[in-house]
């Protein structure tokens, strides 16, 4: 069957996938596959803190494409960065390549809030030194767009780990350290400039903040400072090398959330502490409660997380749970991949079960909700190659994208449209 006919058949079958519904449901979804093999397509990081594959107009989606899905990339092995044209049947066009990526979190693609129709960020590496840096790419330059900035720091090679939601800044971390201590979220073979030191908690590494316009970085908090904060409650911190993950800017960019982790792969020794701080590094504090591994900012001071098997709101200023997100227990796994729509009206929870990923959508204004059928993970349920639910909203909260294995066994992008039943 040729590619065009296979597209038509698959869209016809999948365009009206039913939802698992109850009598109370007012919503449903239709799902369309928008990329096709033989190559594999995926976005990577899931859609909290306005991580959106679509540009401002909604015409283009930016994704990654590879020739394989059954292994991690070799050090320096590139993935194509592809633009999908939603006004032309999602026709793909290769516009760039990156040597800093993985299947679980991609290359941290993020449309620049200061120019969201044409500019996006991603990470790359120097092929000779394997040092990571952040790229700002502009579609409006040249034939297929071009790089307009590369933030390279010789003293502390680092990539972006979260763009400020209102723009102007991004948080940066040492991806070499992350790859060494948490391979599933790092980039294989990138340089860790802290390796080989006697000190476990460097004073010159931690969470950086980079000014997008000036290209200047500032160390907001170091691993030494973090160890000092943790030592009283966790005296074994001096036996662990720490790393940072999930640096998330609040909706007004005044605060940054992040996890401090150590011995994460070792049962019984794992250190996993959530922190918040002001965007200038002040008011550094660990949270009183661990509210799951995938929190999302609900407002300027509240996080969405999980507690006692419920999706909850947590006030980071008062350091307490303020209530449930929804009245009913509609989320089978509240600790799954979650995302709040840009306007805050829609919430989605993705969870895996039995080799398939399911998506539960909630309209917060009236509590209406619906859940999709399951989508095939293709056996990639654990480890470095796993296909997490990873939902990403579009800009007006009418659609979300996700990755699944299609009938041909390839990893592809799907788009679900949420609508009234």
Instruction: Inform me whether the pLDDT recorded for 9 exceeds 80.
Output: no
The answer to whether 402 and 375 are in contact (CB under 8 A) is: yes
CA dist 342 and 337 (Å) reads 16
Residues 6 or more apart in contact with residue 55 via CB below 8 angstroms = 61, 62, 111, 116, 117, 118, 120, 139
pLDDT of residue 285: 95
pLDDT of residue 345: 96
The string over 59-81, giving b where at least 16 C-beta atoms fall within 10 Å of a residue's C-beta and e elsewhere, is ebbbbbbbeebeebbeebebbbb
CA dist 129 and 182 (Å) reads 21
What's the token pair of residue 156? Answer: 């502390």
Record the pTM. Answer: 0.93
- pLDDT tens column, 56-68: 999 999 999 999 9
Helix (H, G, I), strand (E, B) or coil at 396: coil
pLDDT of residue 274: 97
Average pLDDT over residues 398-417: 98
Instruction: State phi, psi for 86 to the nearest 5 degrees.
Output: -65, -20
Confidence of residue 24 (pLDDT cuts 50, 70, 90): low
- pLDDT tens column, 243-294: 999 999 999 999 999 999 999 888 888 899 999 999 999 999 999 999 999 9
- pLDDT tens column, 34-81: 999 999 999 988 999 999 999 999 999 999 999 999 999 999 899 999
Where are the chain's structural domains? 3-420
3-420, CATH topology level: Methylamine Dehydrogenase; Chain H (2.130.10)
């Amino acid at each position: 069957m040729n590619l065009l006919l296979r597209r038509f058949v698959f869209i016809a079958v999948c365009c009206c996938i039913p939802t698992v519904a109850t009598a109370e449901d007012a919503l449903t979804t239709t799902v369309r596959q928008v990329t096709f093999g033989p190559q594999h397509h995926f976005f990577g990081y899931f859609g909290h803190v306005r991580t959106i594959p679509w540009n401002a107009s909604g015409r283009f989606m930016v994704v990654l494409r590879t020739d394989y899905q059954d292994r991690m990339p070799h050090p320096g092995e590139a993935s194509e960065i592809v633009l999908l044209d939603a006004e032309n049947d999602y026709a793909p066009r290769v516009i760039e390549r990156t040597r800093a990526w993985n299947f679980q979190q991609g290359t941290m693609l993020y449309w620049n809030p200061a120019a969201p129709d044409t500019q996006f960020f991603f990470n790359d590496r120097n092929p000779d030194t394997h040092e990571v840096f952040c790229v700002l790419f502009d579609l409006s330059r040249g034939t297929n767009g071009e790089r307009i900035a590369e933030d390279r720091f010789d003293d502390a090679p680092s990539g972006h780990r979260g763009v400020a939601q209102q723009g102007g800044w991004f948080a940066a971390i040492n991806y070499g350290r992350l790859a060494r201590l948490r391979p599933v979220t790092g980039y294989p073979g990138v340089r860790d400039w802290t390796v080989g030191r006697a000190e476990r908690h460097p004073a010159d590494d931690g969470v950086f903040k980079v000014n997008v316009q000036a290209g200047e970085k500032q160390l907001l908090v170091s691993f030494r400072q973090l160890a000092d904060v943790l030592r009283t409650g966790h005296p074994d911190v001096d036996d662990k090398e720490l790393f940072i993950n999930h640096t998330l800017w609040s909706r007004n960019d005044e605060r940054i959330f992040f996890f401090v982790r150590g011995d994460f792969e070792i049962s019984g020794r794992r250190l996993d502490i959530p922190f918040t701080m002001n965007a200038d590094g002040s008011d550094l504090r660990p949270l009183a409660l661990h509210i799951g591994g995938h929190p999302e900012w609900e407002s300027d001071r509240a996080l969405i997380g999980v507690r006692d098997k419920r999706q909850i709101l947590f006030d980071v200023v008062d350091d307490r749970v303020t209530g449930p997100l929804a009245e009913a227990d509609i989320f089978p796994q509240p600790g799954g991949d979650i995302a709040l729509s840009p306007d805050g009206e829609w919430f989605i929870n993705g969870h895996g079960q039995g080799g398939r990923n399911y998506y539960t959508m909630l309209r917060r204004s009236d509590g209406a909700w619906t859940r999709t059928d399951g989508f095939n993970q293709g056996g990639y349920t654990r480890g470095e190659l796993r296909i997490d639910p990873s939902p990403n909203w579009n800009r007006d909260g009418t659609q979300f994208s996700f990755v699944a294995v299609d009938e041909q066994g390839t990893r592809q992008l799907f788009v679900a449209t949420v609508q009234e039943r």
